[in-house]
């Protein structure tokens, strides 16, 4: 619940932040875009910057501090101050940093679960993120139309609900040890740099996130007038509903496949990325085939996401080696966020230069062909690498690796 409400608060504001700053606060378009970009960048990269603080405070306390900070900053935004651009930049970046702190610490909490519960925990997190990101824009859109000045206060209220749930989260408020959680997060080793296996896995998975960006970040620009705004909203709502409805049974099926001697992590990742690639190809035909094919593509896309999203997150903890759990999830978040951002930028750049109505003409569909190819190559590479036994993480809280049958995950 904490993750769902905090995501709802963030996505109630983020899609409309630029418009709100221009219409309600009088910023120029360039300044508003800079503020929005600062918030996104801080949210993506903030986890890495805050790793020492998270270690010192402990995981549960870091989640609480993150949500408390978001409540305060959203409250300041909603108080109606008149600030220069740099003032809005600072506040937007603080929102991103506080929420990044809570997210990174919460992922590290789930990674500390017993091995047979870890995949299920990340599956529930994926459900919460999708539920919040579906409800948030609806709340924000209605408030922007009714009472635009209340937009940041709605996020503050939702983060306050998340903060109230923090005491019910597992774990102690402060971890034992001199570093505020070093033993629990695996940070007791002398080598703090990421190992080769972790780096290779993290970079390989970037291919999946580039393909993901073509759907969630580029699709509205690609479809243009072919699918109306309301119908496109239905497409993304379908994704959120399917995640909430199917994540638990799909995770149960994934666990059974992971336990089979001829299945395991590699083949499962290959299958998930192959389905993702097929979905991205179908999206490429959406401009000419219409809403029906786009809906079918979103069903396939969601089925793949239900598998690879929690699976990748689980593997970050399994592959981290001597790197602390908190640092591992922070570094993976930065790498995958960067891959999504680059994929969205390049995809949008090519899409807006469309030179023909068909998927085989011009440059408009190139991001989708490229995204599908990257997804398939990523699955093949992870399938090959999944034959090796993973390096056992340090820290004493990871359980038995073979309990989740992963041999070599966001």
Among 182, 208, 242, residue at a domain's last position: 182
Query: Are both 176 and 205 inside the same structural domain?
Result: no
Question: Alpha helix locations (H) across 79-193?
Answer: 85-111, 115-146, 151-165, 182-185
- In a domain, residue 367? The reply is yes
Query: Are both 98 and 237 inside the same structural domain?
Result: no
Distance in angstroms between the alpha carbons of the first and the last residue of the chain: 19
- In a domain, residue 408? The reply is no
Backbone φ, ψ for residue 44 (5° rounding): -80, -45
Place of tokens 């680059």: 342
- Dump pLDDT digits (tens) for 392-405: 444 443 333 223 22
- Dump pLDDT digits (tens) for 301-339: 999 999 999 899 889 988 988 888 888 888 888 898 888
- Dump pLDDT digits (tens) for 190-227: 346 788 889 999 999 999 999 998 998 788 888 877 78
- In a domain, residue 225? The reply is yes
Position 384 confidence tier, pLDDT thresholds 50, 70, 90: confident
Query: Are both 8 and 64 inside the same structural domain?
Result: yes
Query: Are both 170 and 251 inside the same structural domain?
Result: no
Report whether pLDDT(181) > 60: no
Among 182, 205, 240, residue at a domain's last position: 182
Instruction: Return the number of other C-beta atoms located less than 10 Å from residue 155's C-beta.
Output: 33
180, containing H or E segment: none
- In a domain, residue 59? The reply is yes
Query: Are both 148 and 55 inside the same structural domain?
Result: yes
pLDDT, average across residues 131-154: 78
Query: Are both 251 and 165 inside the same structural domain?
Result: no
- In a domain, residue 191? The reply is no
Query: Are both 99 and 211 inside the same structural domain?
Result: no
Q: How many domains does the chain have?
A: 2
Query: Are both 119 and 144 inside the same structural domain?
Result: yes
How confident is the model at residue 67, as a pLDDT? 92
Query: Are both 140 and 247 inside the same structural domain?
Result: no
φ/ψ region of 187 (left if φ > 0, alpha if ψ in -120 to 50, else beta) reads: alpha
- The CATH number linked to 371 is 1.20.1250.20
Query: Are both 215 and 254 inside the same structural domain?
Result: yes
Give SS3 for 192.
coil
Query: Are both 252 and 327 inside the same structural domain?
Result: yes
- In a domain, residue 331? The reply is yes
Which range of residues forms the domain containing residue 214? 196-403
Residue among 133, 138, 128 at smallest CA distance from 4: 128
- In a domain, residue 232? The reply is yes
CA 186 to chain centre: 23
Give SS3 for 261.
coil
Dihedral sign computed on CA atoms, order 316, 337, 189, 66: negative
Among 143, 159, 182, residue at a domain's last position: 182
Please, are residues 202 and 333 in contact by the beta-carbon 8 Å criterion? no
272, containing H or E segment: helix 265-284
Query: Are both 175 and 205 inside the same structural domain?
Result: no
- In a domain, residue 188? The reply is no
pLDDT, average across residues 360-377: 86
């Amino acid at each position: 619940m904490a993750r769902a409400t905090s995501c709802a608060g963030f996505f109630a504001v983020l899609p409309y932040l630029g418009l709100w700053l221009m219409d309600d606060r009088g910023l120029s378009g360039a300044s508003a875009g800079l503020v929005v970009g600062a918030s996104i960048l801080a949210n993506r990269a903030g986890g890495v910057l805050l790793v020492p603080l998270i270690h010192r405070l402990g995981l549960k306390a870091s989640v609480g501090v993150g949500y408390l900070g978001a409540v305060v900053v959203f409250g300041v935004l909603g108080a109606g101050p008149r600030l220069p651009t740099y003032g809005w930049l600072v506040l937007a970046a603080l929102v991103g940093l506080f929420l990044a702190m809570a997210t990174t610490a919460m992922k590290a909490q789930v990674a500390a679960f017993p091995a047979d519960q870890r995949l299920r925990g990340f599956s529930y997190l994926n459900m919460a993120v999708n539920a919040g990101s579906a409800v948030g824009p609806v709340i924000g859109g209605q408030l922007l139309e009714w009472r635009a000045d209340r937009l940041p206060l709605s996020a503050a209220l939702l983060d306050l609900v998340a903060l109230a749930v923090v005491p019910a989260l597992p774990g102690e408020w402060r971890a034992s040890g001199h570093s505020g959680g070093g033993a629990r997060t695996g940070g007791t080793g002398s080598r703090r740099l990421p190992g080769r296996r972790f780096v290779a896995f993290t970079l390989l998975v970037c291919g999946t996130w580039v393909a993901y960006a073509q759907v969630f970040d580029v699709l509205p620009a690609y479809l243009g007038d072919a699918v109306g705004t309301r119908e496109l909203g239905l497409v993304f709502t379908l994704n959120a509903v399917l995640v909430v409805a199917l994540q638990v049974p799909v995770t149960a099926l994934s666990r059974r496949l992971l336990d089979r001697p001829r299945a395991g992590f590699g083949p499962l990742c290959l299958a998930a990325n192959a389905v993702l690639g097929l979905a991205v190809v179908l999206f490429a035909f959406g401009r000419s085939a219409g809403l029906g094919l786009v809906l079918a593509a979103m069903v396939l896309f969601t089925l793949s996401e239900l598998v690879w999203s929690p699976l990748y997150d689980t593997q970050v903890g399994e592959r981290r080696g001597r790197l602390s759990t908190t640092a591992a999830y922070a570094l993976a978040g930065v790498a995958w966020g960067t891959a999504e951002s680059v994929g969205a930028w390049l995809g949008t750049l090519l899409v807006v230069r469309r030179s023909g109505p068909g998927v085989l003409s011009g440059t408009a569909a190139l991001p989708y062909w490229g995204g599908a190819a990257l997804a398939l190559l990523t699955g093949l590479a992870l399938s090959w690498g999944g034959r090796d036994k993973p390096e056992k993480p340090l820290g004493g809280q990871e359980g038995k690796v073979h309990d989740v049958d992963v041999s070599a995950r966001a």
